[in-house]
Amino acid sequence: MTQYTAMVLSEGGKPLVAERREIPVPGPGQALVHLSHASLNHRDLWIRKGSYGNIAGLPCVLGSDGFGTVEAVGSNTDRHWIGSSVVLFPALDWGDDDAAPCPAWRILGVPDAGTFAEYLLIPVAQLFAAPKGLTPEEAAALPLAGVTAHRALFRRGGLKGGEKVLITGIGGGTAHFLLQFAVAAGAQVWVTSASPEKIAAAKKLGAKGGVLYTSESWAEELIAMAGSFDLCVDSAAGSGWSGICELLKPAGRLVFFGATRGAPQIPMRKIFFKQLDLRGTSMGSPRDFQAMLDFTQEKNLRPVIDAVFPLENVEAALQRIEQGSQTGKIVLRMP
């Protein structure tokens, strides 16, 4: 086979289209990975819908997460990778500073060709050995959401065993990793959701309980149920920050990595009188990624898989994310 299938987005608002492409040859410092599975993130949906505006790099293959086998390398010093099962670190050119990325940092899948394809040419520096014991679907689900969750909890959130943690918006992939990682670290975890079924599923993964954020009194209900919290990890913002800041203990931490419900309504007086910390985070460094992989293997954790779609059905997979009906990660299977 000299050609492979890739799902390409020509411009925001249009569907992804299958293209046949020539299999590339890796140059120095590059690896050719034969992907077996990829997984979706909200980033893919927002780019597909055109939510980022006239984004540079299109047309392009979307996808940040992937699992596969290294088929070829461009440098003799990298030949030990050939035949290895790998997961791909999706933060390109993060740099050497764990505190924050360098200006060249970007996420795999626009402007750089991503993982919604049978083959991918990628820098060798992005290759990491997959945790043992995971299925290909589970390994493909780990990268972006996993490193985001691990960094949010540990490097940025400073989580300690026994602390009480609130995770908002349980249901999506990153929220599930937050729950699994925090429980494995010995934290007491509560969740919010718009779905009673998703709260019930979270309890099966170790959550102590949860409330519906659609209730006007959700914060009061949670305080009555659990008391105050040491740490909250949020990706919604909007009006929810007022309740979160009410829930946090004095000197509590709010770590956030998104604003799906719009700009936050910031309760300034609560923040400065309670000495609260607001800590932004996004993705993670190569050291964060390796720490996440090690933690996953050490704790024998398995990503929650919601559904697996064939690569050519990527539009249906994106629609499932948009509907918000998933519990866990959605994965694509290559032909």
Task: Give the 3-state secondary structure of 149-174.
Answer: HHHHHHHHCCCCCCCEEEECCECEHH
Give the mean model confidence (pLDDT) for residues 196-218.
Answer: 96
Among residues 192, 191, 171, the alpha carbon closest in space to that of 183 is found at 191
- The domain limits of the chain are 3-142+303-333, 146-280
Give the mean model confidence (pLDDT) for residues 257-274.
Answer: 90
Q: Write down the architecture of domain 146-280 according to CATH.
A: 3-Layer(aba) Sandwich (3.40)
Q: Answer yes or no: is pLDDT of 99 > 90.
A: yes
More confident residue, 2 or 289: 289
Contact 138, 297 (CB under 8 A): no
Query: Over the stretch 220-232, which tens digit does the pLDDT of each residue have?
Result: 999 999 999 999 9
Q: How confident is the model at residue 68 (pLDDT cuts 50, 70, 90)?
A: very high
pLDDT score of 53: 77
DSSP state of 328: S
Picking from 17-26, 119-128, 232-241, which range would have the lowest pLDDT averaged per residue?
232-241
Rounded to the nearest 5 percent, the helix, strand and coil shares of the chain are: 30, 30, 40
- Amino acid, res. 60: C
Give the mean model confidence (pLDDT) for residues 67-92.
Answer: 98
Q: How confident is the model at residue 324 (pLDDT cuts 50, 70, 90)?
A: confident
Contact 147, 91 (CB under 8 A): yes
Query: Over the stretch 114-169, which tens digit does the pLDDT of each residue have?
Result: 999 999 999 999 999 999 999 999 999 999 999 999 999 999 999 999 999 999 99
pLDDT score of 262: 85
Q: How confident is the model at residue 1 (pLDDT cuts 50, 70, 90)?
A: low
Contact 56, 335 (CB under 8 A): no
Fold of 3-142+303-333: Quinone Oxidoreductase; Chain A, domain 1 (3.90.180)
Distance CA 249, CA 254 (A): 11
Backbone angles phi, psi at 16, to 5 degrees: -70, 140
Q: Answer yes or no: is pLDDT of 56 > 90.
A: no
- Mean pLDDT, the chain, rounded, equals 96
Q: Does residue 313 come out as left (phi exceeding 0), alpha (psi in the -120 to 50 range) or beta? A: alpha
Contact 116, 7 (CB under 8 A): yes
165: part of which helix (H) or strand (E)? strand 164-167
Contact 212, 193 (CB under 8 A): yes
**Angle in degrees, CA 134, 137, 142, rounded to 5:** 70
